[in-house]
Amino acid sequence: MQATKKVIGDVFDTHGDIDLVYAPAGILGSQAAFDEDPAFAAKAFDINTTGLVSACLVVAKHMKAQGHGAIVLMSSVAGVRARKDNFVYGATKAGLDAFGQGLGDALVDHGVRVMVVRPGFVHSKMTQGMDAAPFSTTPEKVAEAITEGLTKGSEVVWVPRLLALVFTAFRHLPRRVWRKVSDR
């Protein structure tokens, strides 16, 4: 943690006010790999959640002191309702998503915004070789949505937007129904 504080502090000290911190980090992994190697599951939490939480708290302190800035956190629709075929990944993103929302609430009166981005399946190196999910998107579309969200002052951005409606419904399905729906 001391190294994180020093590196981020040095960036703020060297470059002055920082207007935007974009914090994309993540490994997907498979549930089978996590089941086989619980240390790998813990590593996924370290990468997808823990590291971002500690770094963003340091960034938040600096942005709060300067009185402005925006932090963009890459969550996932998987964090809204974890599927049984990769619940470890979903849990890492759920933790990050909740953290981002809470951090945004804590900073709103200090001129600092936090935007949580919830993409669905993105065609990228991370998903290469996987079957695409419905409503798949591209990194370029995610970038456009982030830019639009920052311009509008959005707190949560869904990519594509239709997923906001889909997951509103999914969130309210009984668990036994969700188990069947999330099998694909």
Catalytically annotated residue among 34, 89, 121, 158: 89
Q: Collect all residues with Cβ–Cβ distance below 8 Å to 132 and sequence separation of at least 6.
A: 121, 123
Neighbours of 119 (CB within 10 A): 25
- For residues 80 and 170, the answer to whether their CB atoms sit within 8 Å is yes
Neighbours of 79 (CB within 10 A): 22
* Tokens coding 88: 């470890």
- For residues 19 and 69, the answer to whether their CB atoms sit within 8 Å is yes
Is residue 89 annotated as part of the catalytic site, yes or no? yes
Q: Known catalytic residues?
A: 89
